[in-house]
Amino acid sequence: MITYLVTGCAGFIGTTFVHFMLSRYTDIKIVNLDALTYAGNLENLKDIEDDERHIFVHGNICDKELVAGLMARYDPDFIINFAAESHVDRSISGPEIFVTTNVMGTVNLLQQAKNAWYDAGQKTWKPGKKYVQVSTDEVYGALGPEGFFTETTPLDPHSPYSASKASADHFVKAFHDTYGMPVNITRCSNNYGMYQFPEKLIPLMINNTKNHKPLPVYGDGMQIRDWLFVEDHCRAIDLVTSAGRPGEVYNIGGHNERTNIFIVKTIIQQMSEKLHDPEINESLIRHVEDRLGHDRRYGIDPSKIRADLGWYPETAFEDGIVKTIDWYLANETWMERVTSGEYQQYYERMYKNR
């Protein structure tokens, strides 16, 4: 049985990854370490509470004793680090927690993995072990109207969030270069899909249109992002974990470049048609002052992961956005509980006596 220590599995991408892996493999165990901050929702994993292959641990990746204990108890084959503070606006107003979680937390995971997996006397690593850092294309900075980010594009982060992720990536690379730690770094474009916390663009717009609330759009809305359906991303991470060449970086992109205003107008159209509601229209759009340091365009070149591992995005944006909207409409109670904060009481109800 292959054992994974996966951090941040109560969040958006981590939740999807756990479901993806447990549905795909029978001979695995996933130890899920999550601090359950505002964006972590244990209810996302309610359907696998009784699955013996999934072990939930409430804790912080910065906790040295906790991580060391998990390494000793479960001896994971792979560590996959999803845990991160990830909202750019929050990083602008309060950058310190981004340094603590994204940088210091990553360093702690790396150090505890090294303590468990590395024989300093022989300078050898236990066979079959690997650390995978889930990063972001934002570490590259901004692109002009043409070209794409490749794995050799210099890092040039522009927000406290992306700076913290770039710093973490440098530490991962340093552990590989200094100690020979088997690692991979993945850098993905903007994810969308089910379970995403409604501070992010797509779920925010879905929720606001449904409730006839204003749709805030930064600046002129012409910022371009490469949108990646979250299940495609999880499939890529699985491939990188099992077959990626140690020490390599892999860009994961959706080949779905769209402007923010296009995304908003698409959601308006889809929601109006699905709900048969003429009041959902473009009059809800409100252009607001642009975000500080807002990068104009991101675009990923995923040719390396396709050539090395055979991965490619299977979900076109036109299909993925429909699946996403349908999920949120079918899970209105989930959205209501998340936006009201009720979901944060779930852990106490379910686990306080365990």
Catalytic residue among 43, 85, 137, 231: 137
Catalytic residue among 138, 231, 238, 257: 138
* 137 is an active site residue: yes
295 with 165: CB under 8 angstroms?
Answer: no
Closest listed residue to residue 69, CA positions, set 87, 88, 54, 55: 55
Q: What whole-number distance in Å separates Cα of residue 82 and Cα of residue 8?
A: 5
Q: What whole-number distance in Å separates Cα of residue 345 and Cα of residue 354?
A: 15
Catalytic residue among 161, 298, 328, 343: 161
272 with 325: CB under 8 angstroms?
Answer: no
* 138 is an active site residue: yes
Please state the φ and ψ torsions of residue 88, each to the nearest 5 degrees: -60, -45
The pairing of strands 130-136 and 124-125 is unpaired
At residue 297's C-alpha, the angle toward residues 262 and 281, to 5°, is 15
Long-range contacts of 92-97 (CB under 8 A, 24+ apart): 92/159, 92/160, 92/291, 92/292, 92/293, 95/160, 95/164
Q: What whole-number distance in Å separates Cα of residue 315 and Cα of residue 163?
A: 30
Catalytic residues: 137-138, 161
